[in-house]
Amino acid sequence: MTNAARDPHLRSMALQAKAWPFEEARKLVERFKAAPPAKGYVLLETGYGPSGLPHIGTFGEVARTSMVRHAFEQMSDLPTRLFAFSDDMDGLRKVPDNIPNKEMVTKHLGKPLTQVPDPFGKFESFGHHNNAMLRDFLDRFGFRYEFKSATEEYRSGRLDATLLKVLAHYDAIMEVMLPTLGEERQRTYSPFLPVSAATGRVLQVPVIERDVKAGTIVFEDEDGKKVETPVTGGRCKLQWKVDWAMRWVALDVDYEMAGKDLIPSVELSSKIAKILGARPPEGFNYELFLDEKGQKISKSKGNGLTIEEWLRYAPPESLALYMFQQPKRAKRLYFDVIPRAVDEYLSFLDRFAAIGKPSAKADAEAKPDGGKVPADPALLRLENPAWHIHGGAPPAPLELAGTPISFGMLLNLASACNAGDKGMLWGFLSRYAPGVTAATHPKLDELAGYAVAYFHDFVKPAKTFRAPTDVERKALEDLAAALPDLPDEAGKIQDEVYAIGKRHPFADLKDWFRALYEVLLGQSQGPRFGSFAALYGRAETAALIKKALAGELASAA
């Protein structure tokens, strides 16, 4: 972790850097200009609703908040903490589609998530299960965070003082909330959602009476009986917007970002936090992610992309870059954005490494008088996305024999040779850069694996194999027959391919080679065929030809 505490120059650069995490961090600097936080640290919070598995938006929020935190650490010596707060006391509203034992879960609708049995049978509850999933994947990315469970917070009594404040300011809060609700909801609305002692469900019922001194409310339970219950100790959950405000106040949250869809909620919760006598946290609204058709992605719809899907085709850093870039812009989050994200990540790594080197093309920034002056290397590093993605310490760029590697190039290579595994890619790579292997370049090896996976799932299905003409068929038969007796040498194989093409009545030799690609690889262009056969294997190539002649490739496409 880089720290600017002992580097005044770095700090001054951080204070003027323009990348959005710095803009955000400056809000916090401003917040504590007059006095440091009484609790002794700056608290950033991210929220998570564990009614389903963590999704890519959750990742984005933690990633982005972490970037703000890190930026802030360059500007200030104040300690920071990041809470990942799980709203796991929320009542289960509907049964998710993507879980087993739905009938069992259905019986527990309305109960706090931490009271619904785990349909996967592994954890204490469904809420605990989803919390564990969240922590797993946050850990996988190496985020620094502290997990907080709403259930535990409520039960521990740590929220009690603020809950009582909510009760004391009941009328003022209702006055804020009611105008935002429909007529129907106005009649039943209550900031307090008592947990029924009879059924265990979180109830959305009106408050009939309240006793501020005793700290209790009276409501009608599901069995029709009037019940008086304390608002403290986890007996009552708060309705969402009030809950959020209460949490801000009780924990003294200083920063929390949220999606654009929550703007009205942020406004309301901020008003309520003020009613409770606190200063609402600094905030930031990021745009939503869209699926391939431009629709908002959501857990329930299952559109867009999951974290797992992204990570099947690209390294985590590329996803972090995607989250870093343009947070205020609605972006499509679909498979087709992955290759570009990877290549941009790689090129930012290159640029980061080149900063300050004499050979690098001089980066420059404008002077007020119109001239240009070379930008400060420290500033350039802070503005580079790689700095934010890697917590200030990006790794060395990926290169092969001195030239930068791109994912696009690997993808082309995979497509050109119809790669079935990354070993084939390595055949070409090692020939290009002798001595370079998966062992010497593990990062490149990973990338090759991603490229093959992406090619296999997205590029290959789009290929169209055609059947050979009669002339092509005869030539291909010749080639298949000749292959087993040839040496394993690209040049010799190429000679034979060429000779066979000449032997058969092709109008132009180009037609012969094109036929090879179209019939065998499902594309109009490809690698030099001798090289391909040598790498793919002579026997395998012969088998491929036989499959094509039998019509198996054309029908499969």
The CA-atom distances, in angstroms, between 217 and each of 207, 210, 315 are: 6, 4, 52
The least CB distance from residue 48 to RNA, in Å, is 10
The least CB distance from residue 242 to RNA, in Å, is 9
Terminal alpha carbon distance of the chain: 50
Paired with 373 in beta bridges are 365
The least CB distance from residue 364 to RNA, in Å, is 9
The least CB distance from residue 473 to RNA, in Å, is 18
The distance of Cα 436 from the centroid of its chain, to the nearest Å, equals 32
| DSSP string over 284-297 | EEEPPEE-TTSPBP
> Which CB, 230 or 327, lies closer to RNA?
327
Paired with 230 in beta bridges are 216
| DSSP string over 179-204 | GGS-HHHHHH--SEEEBPTTT-PBP-
Backbone angles phi, psi at 418, to 5 degrees: 55, 45
Supply 205's token pair: 């019922």
Of 46, 49, 50, 52, give the one whose Cα is nearest residue 81: 46
> Which CB, 261 or 457, lies closer to RNA?
261
> Which CB, 243 or 256, lies closer to RNA?
243
> Which CB, 325 or 430, lies closer to RNA?
325
> Which CB, 10 or 262, lies closer to RNA?
262
The least CB distance from residue 238 to RNA, in Å, is 9
From CA 156, how far away is CA 361, in angstroms rounded?
Answer: 58
From CA 34, how far away is CA 221, in angstroms rounded?
Answer: 49
> Which CB, 42 or 545, lies closer to RNA?
545
Of 300, 288, 297, give the one whose Cα is nearest residue 258: 288
> Which CB, 82 or 410, lies closer to RNA?
410
> Which CB, 4 or 515, lies closer to RNA?
515
Which residues contact RNA (rule: CB under 7 A)?
Answer: 18, 49, 51, 87, 90, 93, 180-182, 185, 189, 204, 239-241, 243, 260-265, 285, 287-288, 290, 294-296, 325-326, 328-332, 340, 366-370, 372, 403, 408-409, 412-413, 416, 491, 494-495, 498, 509-510, 513-514, 517, 525-529
The least CB distance from residue 3 to RNA, in Å, is 27
CB-count exposure of residue 214 (10 Å: 0-12, 13-18, 19+): exposed
* Coil, strand or helix at 398: coil
The least CB distance from residue 34 to RNA, in Å, is 28
Of 59, 69, 24, give the one whose Cα is nearest residue 285: 24
From CA 289, how far away is CA 297, in angstroms rounded?
Answer: 6
Of 455, 520, 529, 446, give the one whose Cα is nearest residue 493: 529
The least CB distance from residue 498 to RNA, in Å, is 4
The least CB distance from residue 68 to RNA, in Å, is 17
> Which CB, 461 or 491, lies closer to RNA?
491
The least CB distance from residue 426 to RNA, in Å, is 14
Torsion angle of C-alpha atoms 49, 51, 56, 60, degrees rounded to 10: 0
The least CB distance from residue 456 to RNA, in Å, is 18
The least CB distance from residue 208 to RNA, in Å, is 19
According to DSSP, the β-strands at 403-404 and 399-400 are: antiparallel
> Which CB, 6 or 329, lies closer to RNA?
329
> Which CB, 16 or 199, lies closer to RNA?
16
* Coil, strand or helix at 494: helix
> Which CB, 141 or 334, lies closer to RNA?
334
Count Cα neighbours of 466 within 13 Å in the Cβ-side half-sphere: 11
Helical H segments across 83-193, by residue range? 102-106, 126-140, 150-156, 160-168, 170-177, 183-188
From CA 406, how far away is CA 235, in angstroms rounded?
Answer: 56
> Which CB, 59 or 85, lies closer to RNA?
85
According to DSSP, the β-strands at 216-220 and 209-211 are: antiparallel
The least CB distance from residue 240 to RNA, in Å, is 3
The least CB distance from residue 103 to RNA, in Å, is 22
Paired with 256 in beta bridges are 45, 283
> Which CB, 49 or 537, lies closer to RNA?
49
Supply 500's token pair: 């066979």
